[in-house]
Chain A
């Protein structure tokens, strides 16, 4: 199929940037979206133009590196997939596809479609861990039984790949889904209880300092999340945060 691509081009962080049109032909429906961009880039390189920069790595939907806003949706129109798993069979011959970077003040653009998501890392530095040193002498893994229900819920929260689709989709650029997934994972497990109060207060503080917006419960994040992280986690974090605040 033949497609028109409208792609955000921005030379570097200080450049103003603009949408640029490209034509691409002979796209196979079995291609992944990124493979389609590979083809475009190869054409650009061989013509002497500069290829479109975009983040990608594992190309199997788990590393969280790819981050494109396609036709007005994070990771494009398909559900429960990352951009790398989006296939061209989702589009029709003659379509025009808009490709933009994930936009948020807290995700400054590095080049073209590549953004800096280190704000996510800094939120994790503030408390996304359980303070246990490595030693050969931690207690036996089976010494604390954890109900299957809690373990499964913790796992569901821990599935977050940190791609930032939640922030990109949120009309407020809020990072609540991302932060709450980590807070929830530990809140659901007995190992996470000791530091629960400090964890949620510190992580939320850092989230706010990074310049993410406020959650208004639109639910867009949950819909666009490639891993289906549930809004339940946000409710849980609200609860954890409020009880931690009142504890002081």
Chain B
């Protein structure tokens, strides 16, 4: 593994694989969150299952954290290497003539997402860990009912937070618009299905973040209207 990571293609393959993994996670996360719109009860049940099932908690969660950290760290490593590959910049560079804004600014959309992930950890994940593993309350209950749905809705009360949340997902969409398609190229996918895959990646890149934004706005508007 370390051998392959020392080559440029190996690193880009690793970026692609971690990205594809994170996108599967994101889809799964979305599928659960959207339940909160249709059925708070189902959302609570599934959240409780995810939050307490040992395979998820002790096997998948560390893998996910590793995936997130790996993708970010590798992203920074590549950015530093790539900057070093051109020491004197062009006086005039018309990047827009040959490539998309998204593809040229993955580091910035990535940083915006990182900022969001930090916020998200503080908002959801750290309190979860605190309740479950420090206070030892694995019941998932609060005042006699599942706490998950309430916690979710509460977070979407502040318009500032909802605004930041929506903005972060715009960045995610921009990141995915290049990233998803790029991951296929990096793993060497190139056949008659490529075009279909590219279209699918665009739908995903816009659809999933839009869905998250919808959930946020839905709960926010339900509270303020």
Q: Which residues of A contact B (CB under 8 A)?
A: 6, 8, 17, 19, 69, 71-73, 77, 98, 100, 103-106, 169, 171-174, 176, 204-205, 207-208, 211-220, 223-224, 231-232, 234-242, 245
- Interface residue ranges of B82-107 to A (CB < 8 Å): 82, 84-95, 97-100, 103-104, 106
**Chain B contacts of A98 at CB under 8 A?**
91-92
Partner of B82, one of A172, A204, A217, A223: A172
Pairwise interchain contact B94-A71, C-beta atoms closer than 8 A? yes
**Chain B contacts of A205 at CB under 8 A?**
7
Pairwise interchain contact A106-B85, C-beta atoms closer than 8 A? yes
**Chain B contacts of A100 at CB under 8 A?**
90-92
Distance, CA A187 to CA B138, complexed state (A): 57
What's the least CB distance linking B67 to chain A, in Å?
19
Once A72-B94, A98-B92, A172-B82 are accepted as A-B contacts, the answer to whether A237 and B9 lie under 8 Å apart by CB is yes
Q: Which residues of B contact A (CB under 8 A)?
A: 3-4, 7-13, 78, 81-82, 84-95, 97-100, 103-104, 106, 178, 181-182, 185-190
Partner of A204, one of B3, B9, B90: B9
What's the least CB distance linking B42 to chain A, in Å?
39
What's the least CB distance linking A59 to chain B, in Å?
24
What's the least CB distance linking A29 to chain B, in Å?
21
Distance, CA A105 to CA B95, complexed state (A): 19
Distance, CA A46 to CA B104, complexed state (A): 44
**Chain A contacts of B78 at CB under 8 A?**
214, 216
What's the least CB distance linking B79 to chain A, in Å?
9
Distance, CA A204 to CA B86, complexed state (A): 19
Once A71-B94, A171-B104 are accepted as A-B contacts, the answer to whether A208 and B7 lie under 8 Å apart by CB is yes
- Additional pairs, 8, CB under 8 Å, beyond known A77-B97, A213-B84: A8-B91, A19-B91, A72-B95, A73-B94, A73-B98, A212-B8, A238-B188, A242-B188
**Chain A contacts of B82 at CB under 8 A?**
171-174, 213-214, 216
Distance, CA A8 to CA B182, complexed state (A): 34
Distance, CA A19 to CA B89, complexed state (A): 12
Pairwise interchain contact B186-A171, C-beta atoms closer than 8 A? no
Pairwise interchain contact A69-B90, C-beta atoms closer than 8 A? yes
Once A103-B86, A220-B99 are accepted as A-B contacts, the answer to whether A214 and B3 lie under 8 Å apart by CB is no
9 contacts between A and B (CB under 8 A): A72-B93, A172-B82, A215-B12, A216-B82, A216-B103, A218-B104, A220-B99, A223-B97, A237-B9
Pairwise interchain contact B85-A238, C-beta atoms closer than 8 A? no
- Nearest first, the 7 closest Cβ-Cβ pairs linking A and B are A72-B94, A239-B188, A213-B85, A235-B190, A172-B82, A223-B98, A238-B188
**Chain A contacts of B13 at CB under 8 A?**
238, 242
Partner of A104, one of B3, B11, B86, B185: B86
**Chain B contacts of A171 at CB under 8 A?**
82, 95, 99, 104
What's the least CB distance linking A152 to chain B, in Å?
16
